[in-house]
Amino acid sequence: FFFKQKTAYEISTRDWSSDVCSSDLGSLIGIFAGHRIRSEIRALMTDVLGAVTLISAAGAIKALWNSSLDSLPTGAPILIVLASLLIGGLIGSLLSFEARLEGVAEKLKAKFDRGNSSRFVEGFVYSSLIFVIGPLAILGSISDGMGTGVDQLLLKSALDFFASIAFAATFGWGVSLSSLPVGIYQFSWTFVGVLLGSVLSETQVALMTATGGILLLGIALKLLEIKKIAIGNLLPALALAPCLVALVQALF
């Protein structure tokens, strides 16, 4: 058990440092080059990120058609995703997840961005949610914790690097500090992967990924200024999806 704990720490530290380095480096480039970029160009960059996030959402939602879902009753997958989002949204709203995340951002802003010169809170919240919600954050961390490869995390690091440049140019230092919640989140999933091995079945992973895709869709709509959705309050849905899959499989 001690050996597994040590391994989890080493792997998680490596995952966190690689992802943080890529996003922070991108953030610094965006922050210090941002003043040279015209406001309309920064707005366009944000729109592009929103559009690309839509593509990522579509890729994740595609998991609803995974062949492993044939083991569930007809229509059950979409109902599980719906129930996860509704119940998760209720839990998140009661616990004020979105408000708490924004509260953390406000405290960090007061310490690191007193001049109120940037959209600090928006940058912290948006980038935290995008870097956390992406299925690569979950699947990549679990995969690495189980010793089956780091390909997904390396891909995520590359995507985070380019995304953080665009975000930091628009939102400022809040993007860089989003590495704190992202690092904690990925550390937790890697630790789970090391201690418990294959924690989730393919069916559970597929529906968790599809649920994350819906959340990504909500973020894309916010970035494109189409609809403001309290995505932070929906985060519990990611944990509920695999639990509901297990419940349905037990009942049917």
Distance from C-alpha of 159 to C-alpha of 223, rounded to nearest angstrom: 17
Band (4; pLDDT cuts 50, 70, 90): very low
Q: Compute the CA torsion angle 166, 52, 128, 31 (nearest 10 deg).
A: 0
Band (100; pLDDT cuts 50, 70, 90): confident
pLDDT in tens, 103-134: 776 676 666 555 555 566 777 777 776 666 65
pLDDT in tens, 179-203: 777 777 777 767 766 664 556 788 9
User: What pLDDT shows up at residue 240?
Assistant: 94
Answer whether 61's CB lies under 8 Å from 77's CB: no
User: What pLDDT shows up at residue 93?
Assistant: 94
- pTM summary value: 0.72
- Cα angle 198, 69, 186 (rounded to 5 degrees) comes to 40
Helix 202-223 to helix 135-145 angle (10° resolution) is 140
> What Rg do the C-alpha atoms of the chain give, in angstroms?
18
Phi-psi region of 96 (alpha: psi -120 to 50; beta: other; left: phi over 0): left
Answer whether 172's CB lies under 8 Å from 31's CB: yes
Q: Which amino acid is at 245?
A: V
